[in-house]
Structure 1
Amino acid sequence: MPGDVMTNVAERMVKRRKEHGMTQATLAEKSGVSLGSIRRFEQSHEISFGSLVNIAFALHCEQDFDALFAQPYYATIDAVTAATRRNGSRT
């Protein structure tokens, strides 16, 4: 569920922040995101995408976004087979 994803992302961010030995205030300063926004994210798991990206850069996690929407969508097994053929791979 969307709420679960938001909760998990916020919890992982808190863990990473603590691994870096940062307080909320330090993260706010390094990321350019307001302290209130960081607190809100940690408590209610709500934040703008732009602020989340800024936080990721401050925590050296920007590469984590590379996987977002990176996997192709296949509606059927025939679509998988066709894509495999187009890519020249055989399974």
Structure 2
Amino acid sequence: MKQFVWETAEKIDQKLAKRIRNIRKRRSISQEKLAAMCNVSYGSIKRFETTGKISLLSLTKIAMALDCADEIRNMFTEVPYKDIQEVINETR
């Protein structure tokens, strides 16, 4: 059965940015300090937290600086099969 996606990619990006911002604030790290910790520009950090727009490399650097790299590393490790055809295709 096909699942419906109720959120846009932009909305998911914004939620991810909000989660990252919450982790940063919970750890009492300023945007400037985070930028220095992960070697990503302050402007990129600020833009990400505002709009959700950032490169994957910068997101990975931020996750590493916040000690959340496992979440990035494990992002697609347990993707369920869509149907039996995917199982068959994988075994070929």
Q: Does TM, normalized by the shorter one, top 0.5?
A: yes
TM-score (norm: length of structure 1): 0.79
**d(CA) in 2 for partners of 1:23, 1:43:** 15
Q: 1:79 to 1:72 in 2, by over 3 A?
A: farther
* Rg comparison, structure with higher value: 1
Pairwise CA RMSD of aligned residues?
2.0
- Aligned counterpart, 2:22: 15
Unpaired runs of 5+ residues, structure 2, are: 1-7
The structure whose RCO (Cα within 8 Å, separation 6+) is larger is 2
Q: Which runs of 4+ in 1 moved over 3 A?
A: none
Tell me the alpha carbon deviations over residues 53-76 of structure 1, each in whole angstroms, 9 at most, x when there is no partner. Answer: 000011000000133222345232
Distance 1:48 1:17 in 2: 18
1:16/1:72 Cα in 2 relative to 1: closer, same or farther (>3 Å)?
Answer: closer
Partner of 1:56: 63
Structure 1 spans left out of the alignment, 5+ residues: 87-91
Which residue identity does 2:77 align to in structure 1? Answer: A
Q: Indicate the structure with greater helix content.
A: 1
Structure 1 CA distance, aligned partners of 2:16 and 2:61?
Answer: 14
The size of the alignment, in residue pairs, is: 82
Q: Calculate percent identity across the aligned residue pairs.
A: 32
